[in-house]
Structures are given as structure tokens and as C-alpha cells.
Chain A
Amino acid sequence: MEMKLLAGPVVALALIGAPAYAEITGDVVRIGVLTDMSSLYADNTGPGNVAATELAIEDFGGEVLGKRIELLTADTQNKPDIGLSVGGRWFDVEGVDVIAGASASSVTLAVQQLAGEKNKVFLISDAASSDITGKACNANTVHWTYDTASLANVTGSAVVEAGGDSWFFLTADYAFGYALERDVTAVVEAAGGEVLGSVRHPLNSSDFSSFVLQAQSSGAKIVGLANAGGDTVNAIKAASEFGLVQGGQKLAGLLVFVMDIHSLGLDVSQGLQLTEAFYWDQDDKSRAFTERYKKKMDGRVPNSIQAGYYAMITHYLKAVEALGSDGPGDAVVAKMKELETDDPLFGKGHIRVDGRHMHDMYLFEVKAPSESQGPYDYYKLIATVPPEKAFRPLEEGECPLVKN
């Protein structure tokens, strides 16, 4: 009853002429999408992740090696114990081969360990923690879209290059915020800029005017938002209201998604600089994907996390095809690392030994209302950062897999 079977038409397909040589456990490849469907991050992950996964499965005709692909979904509610009990049941009882997920970093790190113990595959697009491919890395995990280190590298270096050499941070008071602030500070200082100060606000603060005032009186050219979700949105709103941008300062959002801009409106968010790994209006391929995605998602456009789901599921299925088997997990992930990645959304790339997927990252600026042609026409490209510059060097991650 907890399964959302999307395999109805797929089953019929699979029954026709399935070759018998493939070693697919249970004669079905089961993909579990475990994400935040209802709480804080649902608009940037949730149903959109499921839709992107469905599209990837559709593009395989619903089957791989002649065996049908089945999709299960569940809501972590951002609680690690729910993520673990659903994930554990999926692996142990329901025969799930791969979990894609898994909302907040507390849930993700926990499921990562679980996938290692059970020797299954875990594909990550939602979470930002750099530890996933660092201290916590294992041979069963791929981290696709972004992490705090890349957000910091791209935003920090590109903004300093464009002349933003003095910074003040509004930092969410938890590990994610600290990591961003620390990493950006290192990048900014290495690029010859300076950090004038920071203020740490509690998670889910509703009013940012006090913090914005402190940022204004700091005199920094760039106000870095080392927070996420509702906090970032509220901070941008308060900054607009108190005339921070008119006062000559610029905002740099470290983790902002296209739906955040949509919910803020361009009036408020124009001029904001932000880093994403994907924008729906990049090229013909991304636009074609977006059209299909929109049909499933009430006209919304995908963000980089959701594009990441499509890309990593696609690559996973390719690896299963190449390996001729959907297990054990470490063998599949080894195959994923061995094969070049190539998909319509992230282009060509590869997966490093620590599990990090390497692709370009982009610095965008939010358009002014007058520049925008219509709904979701929000970004203009400022800089493209190649993977070697965007992501943390392999040696610095302390990932145990790297030593040999």
C-alpha cells in the first residue's frame, strides 16, 4: 500500500519478449525516490523529483535489459528515522535496488550509510553537504548536482572576479550555513577579497530586517546569503524593502533555486547573483526536457536538483545495462564511475572515485522585470565555471576511497 506503482503500462510492455540472460534481481529494477514531499523543501525537491525520474524511466521505454522498471516514492518529512525505516524496508523487504534522494542532509547521510551496509545504490541530488563525498563517502553513493564546496567556489570566485571584493554574510545558524560561510570566506580571501563580518541568524527566522540593517551598516559590497529556502526568501524580501540594493550593495545567494525566484517575483529579486548547476532555458535540449516536465508539473519548470534526478537515473540505468545486472550496489556504482556520463541536461562528464559527478556550474544573475520575456524567464548567465574549478579537489575531501 505504500508503493505508488507507476508501472501499469510498463508491465504490459515487459511481458512481451524479455530476454532471459540478464541478472536482474526479482526480474524488476526497483527505483525508490525518497525525498521531501511535503515540508520545507518540497517545492525545490518533492513531486518535481518524482516527475523527473518518471521522464528518465519513460526514455528507457519503462524497461532495462528487457526487465521492467518500477518506481516507488516516499516522503521523508525531513526526519532521519522515517528516511531510515522506509529506506531499510525498501532494501530489505521490497527489493528496491536504488534509492534516489534524500532531502535534508541528516536524512541523506543516514541513508548513505544504510546503502553501504546493505550494498545497494544511493543517488543523491537534494542534499548539499560536502561530507557526502568527503569523510562520509562510500562505494555505493553518487552525489550528482551540487555541494556546499561548489556553491562556495563558484559564487565566491566569480563574484570577486566581477569586483565584489568585500563581503558580509547572513549565515543560517547550523552546519550547512557555517560550511558555506567558511568555504566562501576561503575562496574570497584567496582571490584577494576580504570578509568584513557576518551575523548568524536562527533557522526559520521570519524577520530579517535586523540582520539586513547590520549588513547595511557593514559597508560591504556583497551581502552573501549563506542560508536556504524560506530564510533566503525572507532575507531577499527584507533587503529589497530596506533598500539594500539601491544603497549600492549586491546580494549573492548561495543556495537559491528557480522556484524561489518565482515565489519572490522579479521586482524583489532582480540583481541577485546565484549559482545553479542547470537552468531550464540553457539550450534546445533543456527546453525540450522542460516542456515534458511542465506537462507533469502544472507548468512549473525544473531546477538543478530535479534535472539531476533525470540525469543520474538515466546514467544509473545505462550502467545497469552495461553491467548486465542491477546488483550488487558497489559493482553498479563502479560501472557508473567507469562509464562517461552523457545526458541532454548536464552534457558530457564523469563520476569521480569519491562519488562526485563532475559538470559545469553556472553563475546567474536575476533579470530585471523589464528584461524578462515571460514566466520563468528569470536568469541571465554571468559565468560558466568548469568542473575542476567548481568542485573541491579530490585530495582535499578526506574520502577513504581516494587513498589508494
Chain B
Amino acid sequence: MFDLLGISAPAFFGQLLIGVINGSFYALLSLGLAVIFGMLHIINFVHGAQYMLGAFTALLLLNYLGIGYWWSLLLAPLIVGAFGIVLERVFLRHLYKLDHVYGLLLTFGIALVIEGTFREFFGSSGQPYGIPPELAGVQNLGFMFLPNYRAWVIVASLVVCFGTWFMIERTRLGSYLRAATENPALVQAFGINVPLMVSLTYGFGVALAAFGGVLAAPIYQVSPLMGINIIIVVFAVVVIGGMGSILGAVVTGFVLGVVEGLTKVFYPEASSTVIFVVMVLVLLTRPTGLFGRA
């Protein structure tokens, strides 16, 4: 079968695995977007910039404070998440009564400001961030060499995605959250501080993006443009999965990673376009995405 496709079986499995690795980034980022949209009804266009901020925070922590990868993995999401909460308090909360479009435009503007500022200070070509020594090296899987770090990316992404899904869908805290989106006044009446919960949710979604940024830092250049290159794709993932659907975002992220990976083998030129083809097809057949609720 593989001979017919012009590719050997080992090479095919190698590409499949790489698709899963890229999918774990898509899943992580679209998860954050989905959490934010689900709870706040804000289309967070600044997500790509926040992903970039995560990577830069890790880089700056290393360069100025000597704080290494593992602490950054914890600290950068907290710092960027806190920044997200500030954004929510200062800007976003004025928009909840308005149409989604305004949230999109506002966050688009914030993204331009953040990215322009970083380009002004750090140039456009990016800076290196080393792979942590514990994860250096490669494993010979027989059909390909798998860098240890990439394997860690899959594990980390799966754990965080599952943890988030579990927290929102299966815990008491999650049920408060979901209730607060349905009927904030009622939940408030039960003595729960809804505005605080909304702020924290946004901060959490942003922290997920920053976490993805730290994970990405050793693989890609830490560059002001890294967010703008990925945000549109992640956006498409969320829409295909169904806006606000946690499970949809995660599953679609991984699946589209694989779809894109296979496109890179059979029609590489189209690998950045295939996701849009999928999006049009899905939206025309399933108006609210694969996992969306009408």
C-alpha cells in the first residue's frame, strides 16, 4: 500500500508521529482559546502573542535571572497568565455585553501592540533557547530518530489537555464555571464571585498559551513573529472543533496536526492551506463545528 503512495512504511510512520507532535501544539493552543471562548465568549486573537510572550518570558528569565527551563515551565505561564488577568480587568470586561466582533477586534489590536513592541526591542530574526540537558538526545525508533524533547512535548501536552478537560467537565469548580456562563446572575446569588471567576478563567487560558510557548521555545526560534504565524491555524482548529468545545479543540488539534503532517509528504506546498480546506468543508456540512453544540 505504501509503495503505491510512493513512500516507505517507516517513513510514513515517521511523518505520522511528527504530525502528532505538531498536533500537540495545536491542541494546547486551541484548548486555551476554547476555554476562553466557552467561558467569556471572547474570541481571543491575542492568543498567538501570548504564546510568544510565554517563550520570551522563558528566554528573559534565563538570560537575566539564570532561571532554567523547568522553573520557566511553571513561572512563565504564571507571569503571562497574571498579565492576561490585567488585560481582562482593564480591557476585555467592557465588551461582554457587546457582539463577539468587538472582542475579536480589540484582541487583534492588543496583539499588534505586543508584537510590534517585541519586534522593536528584539528584532525579527529570533533568539535561540537551548533544549534542557535532561531531554537532549534522540531515540532510535527503527523507523525514525525521535528527539527526546519532542516525545516530552507530546506527553506534556496530553497531560495538560486531559487535566484541563477533567477540571472543567468533571469537578465542582468546573460545574460552577459552566453554570456561570449559562446564568451568571444566579451563580452570583449563590455567593460565588463571578467576575473573579471570569478573570481567573481568562488568566488560565492565557497561561495555557504561555505554557505552549515555553514548550515551543527550544524547538523553534524565540521570535516576535512566532505567534502571528500560528494564530490563524489555531483559530481554524477551534472553529473546526466547535467554538468553546474543550474536547473538540483537543481532538481536532491532534487530528489536524496529522492531516497537515501527511499533506507535507504528499503535497507539501499545500500544507499551510489544507486546514482552511478542512474548515470550509466542516462549516458547510456541520455549521457549529465537529463537536459544537448548536
Contacts and interface: CB of A to CB of B under 8 A. Distances in A.
> When A and B assemble into the complex, do they touch directly, with CB atoms less than 8 Å apart?
yes
Given A38-B119, A217-B8, A242-B145, A234 B265 contact: no
Interface residues of A, number: 40
A3 B237 CA distance: 45
A199 B268 contact: yes
Contacts of B127: 263
Interface in B123-140: 123-128, 130-131, 138
Contact of B265 (A210, A233, A241, A259): A210
A267 B130 contact: yes
A229 B125 contact: yes
A163 to B, nearest CB: 24
A173, A263, A268 interface centre (most CB from chain B within 10 Å)? A263
Interface residues of B, number: 42
B22 to A, nearest CB: 5
B128 A263 contact: yes
Contacts of B130: 265, 267
Nearest to B131: A241
Interface in A386-404: none
B149 A205 contact: no
A201 B145 CA distance: 21
Contacts of A42: 119, 123-124
B80 interface: no
B124 A204 contact: no
A217 B265 CA distance: 12
Interface stretch (B95-103, B202-210, B217-225, B245-253): B217-225
Given A213-B18, A213-B144, A217-B8, A237 B219 contact: yes
A173 B229 CA distance: 16
Nearest to B11: A217
A237 B221 contact: yes
Interface string A231-249: 0011001100111000100
B157 to A, nearest CB: 14
A291 interface: no
B184 interface: no
A234 B219 CA distance: 8
Nearest to B149: A241
B269 A233 contact: no
A241 B219 contact: yes
Given A206-B230, A242-B147, A267-B130, A260 B268 contact: no
A286 to B, nearest CB: 22
Nearest to A213: B14
Interface of B: 8, 11, 14-15, 18-19, 21-22, 116, 119-120, 123-128, 130-131, 138, 144-145, 147, 149-150, 219-221, 223, 225-226, 229-230, 261, 264-265, 268-273
18 contacts: A40-B225, A43-B124, A173-B269, A201-B269, A201-B271, A204-B229, A205-B272, A207-B219, A213-B18, A229-B125, A233-B126, A237-B219, A237-B221, A241-B219, A242-B147, A260-B125, A263-B125, A263-B128
Interface of A: 38-44, 173, 199-202, 204-207, 209-211, 213-214, 216-217, 229-230, 233-234, 237-238, 241-243, 247, 259-260, 263-265, 267-268
Given A39-B119, A242-B138, 7 more contacts: A40-B225, A199-B264, A200-B268, A213-B18, A217-B8, A241-B149, A263-B126
